[in-house]
Structure 1
Amino acid sequence: MKGRRWLWLLGVGGMIGWLLISACRPVATPSSAGASRAPDIRAGALVTPEGVPTALTVLGVGTVRARPDQAVVTLGVETEGEALAAALSENNRRASTVLAALKEHGVAEADIQTASFQIQIEEPRDPQTGRRTGPPVYRVTHVYTVIFRDLDRVGQGVDAAVAAGANRVDAIAFRIGDPNRLAMEARRLAAEDAKARAQALAGALGAQLGRIVSITETAIPQPVPMARAPAFAEAAAVPVAAGELEITVQIQVTWELR
């Protein structure tokens, strides 16, 4: 009876020892067995473990140049007087004459807008003593923003406004009435530029372009004045150089490589 008990204990101990040895034996993992690793991201490019790129990102630029078709003129009337009522009345009279002259030169009423209106008081004083040397002077300023849709009439219109009483011409700026049309053309050129760059780079790498992964417009198109060209409007008094404007679109495109 005692001998059988010892045999049973030896059998159980052997099984436990075999299980412990099996648990400590190294087990092959996918990495140790030579399985492929996940791709790495290096310097913004997706590459394989061998360093071969699997994606390509390029920038494409498209620029469209066009002659502006609108001019925005900032002009106004400034009057002074020792009596506020008189200065204001004179300003209103001259401003009405200026507006009438602009309308006679083809400017629509909807294209004339008040940009600012100010009344200032100046007291003349002796620079040494600071004492007032005379009665206060009231300055009334009324500035308008005027849109000319015919560039050939800008110079004539400004001249007519000055002749009618405008004694301030602060700025003349040019713009394109419908920049969206030019922006769409610039986007098309940017896309063509990006594709040409990508094909050249892929060919140099011995690869081909696959599907497009992402497209991002990185610059919002805004008309930018170029160097003024000697293209003057047909105006007798005020020669106006419209020049050209340019719209640039920049896009970023990522392709898969195969």
Structure 2
Amino acid sequence: MKKTRLILLLVLVLGALQVQAQQQQVLPPLVSVTGVGEVRVQPTEVVVNLGVETREKTLEAARNETDKKAAAIINYLKKQGVDARDIQTSYVTLHPVYNGGEYGKTSPDFYMAMKTMTVVIKKLNKYDEIISGLYGVGANRIDGVSFQVGDMEKYKAEARKKAVSNAKQKATSLTSELGAKVGRVYAINDSMPGGGPRPMYKMALQEASAGYADQGGPSISAGELVITSTVDVSFIIE
């Protein structure tokens, strides 16, 4: 009885494998291409990573001073028209610092507290004014600046549409050279790589503020963002 069941099981497995092999072998004639779509847009927002760093003799003093300055920064940004939803604390650290010297030293030379935040400025023409005023309220570092657009999904969809059109054009061009025609889509894979140039810099905020005062025009150039979509498409050849 067991032998009969084993034989039946083997027959079923071999049958399934044979059907799968036949399905894998019977593929329609295909032309596979990669389509690329690109959309260039003017940035509408600037993202600033800034922070405050404080060094004090005691842990409590460092924490309190940093919290005080961070609160002043947030209050200043709100007064400048930055929405509370566009201000986010991104990193907080508090630790002792030992400068070396005496072996086995157990007391730190000082304590360092740091709090950083990410701010989205939606009015590019206010960038210089906002940045130059941050130093006066306690900020002492800028870790990065990048640009983005508010309605990214709209431009992603546009780039994807262009990518699909580009794929169809490529497939049509290839098959027409061989006297064939492009049929229906057999398979498609969509990918969306990162969207374009994002200028980054790191400088002391005091130096940046002094630079703004000396310049007569805007201190940044937003340029343009390149949003790209890539699709891999297989068409049936007729």
TM range (shorter): 0.7 to 0.9
100, 103, 110: which is aligned to 1:137?
A: 110
- The answer as to 2:74 corresponding to 1:103 is no
Whether the aligned pair in 2 keeps the contact of 1:176 and 1:223 (CA below 8 Å) is no
Show the counterpart of 2:206: none
Alignment of 1:1-258 (within 5 A): 54-126=29-101, 130=103, 132=105, 136-217=109-190, 219-225=191-197, 236-237=212-213, 239-258=219-238
Query: What do the CA deviations read for 1:200-254 (whole angstroms, capped 9, x no partner)?
Result: 111110112222222221x2243221689xxxxxx95471222221111111222
Q: Kindly indicate whether the alpha-carbon contact (under 8 Å) linking 1:226 and 1:244 is maintained by their aligned counterparts in 2.
A: no
Q: SS state of the match for residue 227, structure 2?
A: strand
Over 3 Å counting, the alpha-carbon distance change for 1:209 and 1:87 in structure 2 is: closer
Distance 1:207 1:79, change over 3 A: same
Deviation at 1:92, TM superposition (A): 2.5
- For the Cα contact (< 8 Å) 1:79–1:91, is it kept in 2? yes
CA deviations on 1:15-37 (whole Å, 9 max, x unpaired) are xxxxxxxxxxxxxxxxxxxxxxx
Q: How many residues align?
A: 203
User: Is the 2:145–2:199 contact (alpha carbons within 8 Å) kept by the matching residues of 1?
Assistant: no
More helix per residue: 1 or 2? 2
- Structure 1: distance between partners of 2:129 and 2:54: 24
Deviation of residue 185 (structure 1)? 0.7
Q: Is the 8 A contact 1:226 1:243 kept in 2?
A: no
Question: What is the CA distance between 1:197 and its match in structure 2?
Answer: 1.2
Provide the rounded CA distance (Å) in 2 between the counterparts of 1:255 and 1:222: 27
Q: CA deviation at 1:195?
A: 1.5
Alignment gaps of 5+ in structure 1: 1-37, 47-53, 229-234
Classify 1:123/1:187 alpha carbon distance in 2 versus 1 (closer, same or farther; 3 Å): closer
Bigger RCO of structures 1 and 2 (CA < 8 A, at least 6 apart) = 2
CA distance in 2, matches of 1:85, 1:252: 57
Give SS of 2:82's match: coil
Secondary structure of 1:252's partner? strand
TM-score (norm 2): 0.74
**CA RMSD, Structure 1 to Structure 2 (Å):** 2.9
Could you tell me the percent identity over the aligned residues?
Answer: 32
Largest Rg, 1 or 2 = 1
